[in-house]
Amino acid sequence: YHILLLGPPGAGKGTQAKRLCETYDLDHVSTGDALRANKDMETEYGTPRSFMEAGELVPDEVVNEVLEAALTDADGYVLDGYPRNLDQVEFLDDATELDYVFFLDVDRDVLVERLTGRRVDPETGDNYHVEFDMPDDEEIRERLVQRDDDEEDVVRDRLEVYEENTEPVIEHYRETGELVEIDGEGTPDDVFERLSDAVEGDD
């Protein structure tokens, strides 16, 4: 499958992408993860870090290159974090074909709570949450860190950037008839069940 997972910051794209990839044997293509792994790469626009820590979009020229490299290596995939504006929609349209376009719908209050409480294991990249999902292993618990862009003021900026740049992307896929809206609230298991029903209900 070629699956696109859309949704605001904190909607659970990374969490659900991981499960979809394990269940259907797909590659997780996340432009956010790829950029975090290359934060200090020098580009003619500056480093990705300078944009990400401010909650802004990294310039299309940089992200498109990252995306192209990741898609070339992937066969079946779950794409998360791209496209974030209408120019990126066009680029993606030329690069690949999609089987599913899912939108994880979550209320703003819940997004803020999920993002400010997120903790990341720097060794594995796994996401946890101080309230909803902490690891049992004390060694892991002690090494968890907060993502640089999860401080409350940056979270608010990211949500604004989303509303301005990425909501038109959602609208675009609604107009083409491809958008499948999935309730993104409830437990990760609840959300995954809705997603896998939508994939399998189709076969």
SS3 for 152? helix
Nearest of 155, 187, 149, 184 to residue 170 by alpha carbon: 184
**Among Zn ion, ligand AP5, none, residue 127 binds (CB under 5-8 Å by kind):** ligand AP5
Give the count of alpha carbons within 13 A of 19, CB side only: 16
**22, 37, 90, 132: which one binds ligand AP5 (CB under 6 A):** 132
153 to 172, contacts with ligand AP5 by CB under 6 A? 158
Annotated active-site residue 13? The verdict is yes
Report the distance separating Cα 38 and Cα 31, nearest Å.
10
**4, 26, 58, 170: which one binds ligand AP5 (CB under 6 A):** 58
Amino acid at site 129: H
117 is in an annotated binding site: no
User: Which one of 52-60, 92-100, 135-143, 172-180 is the stretch in contact with ligand AP5 (CB under 6 A)?
Assistant: 52-60
Report the distance separating Cα 126 and Cα 86, nearest Å.
30
SS3 for 172? helix
Nearest of 147, 151, 155 to residue 109 by alpha carbon: 155
Size of the site for Zn ion (CB under 5 A): 1
128 is in an annotated binding site: no
Contacts with ligand AP5 by CB under 6 A lie at 7, 9-15, 31-32, 35, 51-52, 55-58, 63, 81-82, 84, 88, 114-115, 118, 127-129, 132-133, 149, 158, 187-188, 191
Annotated binding residues, as ranges? 10-15, 31, 36, 56-58, 81-84, 88, 118, 147, 158, 186
